[in-house]
Structure formats: structure tokens, C-alpha cells
Homo-oligomer: A and B are copies of this chain.
Amino acid sequence: MIDIRQMRYFVALAETLHFGRAAERLNLSQPPLSRQIAALERELGVRLVERHSRQASLAAAGKRFLQDSRAVLASFDEACRNAKLADEGELGELAIGFMMHAAYGALPGIARRYMAAYPGVRLSLREVIPSLLPQLIMTGQFDAGITFHGGGNPALESRSIHRERLCLVVPPGHRLADRETVQAADLEGEALIATHADVAPILRNVVVDFCRAAGFEPLVQLEAQLQQTIVRLVAEGLGIALVPETMRKIGFADVVFRDLEDAPVVEHVIAWRRGNLNPALKPFLRTAGIFVEE
């Protein structure tokens, strides 16, 4: 069977047109080279080299084979290098899922730095609903995800990368709209608009717990998936809400944001499946400031 070594021998020969010198370049003595070239020609069924007494020359088939061989050898060597690079996380694909809030938090910086440091990795970023993330990471659709503090799945490892306070959002003219700061107790009796528990349970629970700690059960009559929707509904006068401070940056009209005393805090975490074998994951975590040793 023809062999990559014979190709290398042939290229050396074609470039020197001299069996002795080619053999020398290959750290080989001349007879094995002669034999390998002869074997190559026999196996191809084609004469590649014309032997003259003074020097060799390439037949037409040899010229063609030289071209092709150079290309094959280059891609062969590159394949070997690429395997190493892929193993080191320098080459490959990395799928990251993130909840919308992350786009206002740590995600952009991490993604920018990672892409600059690992240009060989095709980074795929996809926004998903927070509650879906753990499952998608477990099934391998994402190598990692940015969501609110992990879903308690033991196979998922997670590290905090960002902390965010909640703030109050009310329509203009609301009785709390002019207060410098608001306490939990001030919310009693107000109609709250909150995230649906199926979408972002953490966020929902933080709000509920905040109220309970002040001694009352919150009145949630209206639920929405997206924080933007919640703010919009507040603007329409359908209630008030506690939302992450990132909402403040977006610049909504017809609402007023107010700080909360001892405001509840939600954490953004990067979560990944323990035992994920994608070599590109660890460098990504490092870029996010997370150093796992194991």
C-alpha cells in the first residue's frame, strides 16, 4: 500500500532530482530511497521519474504527483497539528447559552476577550430562557451557560461572575415614585408584577422572599417572561415590580426606578457540566476569571 513516507521521499527526490542528495536530505542511504521510489511507481502503475545517467527528471505524471503530494503532505501535517490544538482548546467549537440579563453583565467582556485570545474556536452564543439552561447544559447542547444562581443540579458546577441588586420600578405619580429609598415593608398591599416561576424561578423567589422577610405575602397578579415586558406593564399602570438593575440602563419611558433598602441580590453564574470534555471550556472559564483545578 502506498504510504505517506513514500510521498515524502518522492517530494525530496523531485526537489533535488538526485537520488543520493535526496537520500541525504532524508537521513537515508541511497539504496532504500531507490527502492521506495521504485515501489511507489510500481504501486501507482506510473513512471514518475526519468532516470538519465547524469541527472533525473520528472515525467508529466511526476510533475502532477509532485504538486498533489505537496498539498497532501501539507494538509496531513496540518491535521496532526490541529489534533494537538483541538486538544488544547485552541481549535474547535464552544457553545454558550445565556439569559438575557447576562448581555448587560459579564457576557460581552468575557466573549470579547475569549474570541481575541482563541480565534480558532468558533464561539456560538445563544440566548435562552434562564430556566431552560441547566437542562440544555446537561444534555450537552451548551458547554456552559450564564444564568441566575444554579438550579441545584449536582452534576452542574457553577461559579458566580456577577452580582446584581434588584430595584423598584413604579409608574410616575405612584405613591412610592418620589421616595428617596424604599423598604420592603412599603410594598405591602401593592400589586406586584413578577417573572413567571417557570422562566426564572430564582428571580421570582428572590422577590417573594424579600417580601416574606418583611412579614407579608406578595400579591402577584400578573406574570411575564421577560423583564422588559414587566417594565412595560408597570408603565401601563398595571402594577409595580422588582427588577434587576440592568433594566435601569435600558432607558424605559414612563417609569421611575427607585433603590431598595437592603435590596435583594441575584447572582449571575457560569454553570457547566462537571466532566464536560470540551477542551475549549477550561480556557473559556479562565477567561471569565474562573480557575478550576481538579
Contacts and interface: CB of A to CB of B under 8 A. Distances in A.
Given A4-B3, A71-B75, A76-B72, A277 B50 contact: yes
How many copies of this chain sit in the oligomeric assembly?
2
Interface in A215-273: none
A280 interface: yes
Contacts of A86: 46, 60-61, 63-65
A184 interface: no
A68 B60 contact: no
A103 interface: no
Contacts of A68: 75, 78-79, 82-83
Contacts of A4: 2-4, 76
A278 B72 contact: no
A279 B60 contact: yes
Interface string A32-74: 0000000000001111101000000001111111001101100
Nearest to A1: B5
A87 B59 contact: yes
A3 B3 contact: yes
Interface centre among A1, A45, A86 (most CB of B within 10 A): A86
A279 B63 CA distance: 12
A279 B65 CA distance: 14
B83 A64 contact: yes
A116 interface: no
A87 B61 contact: yes
A55 to B, nearest CB: 15
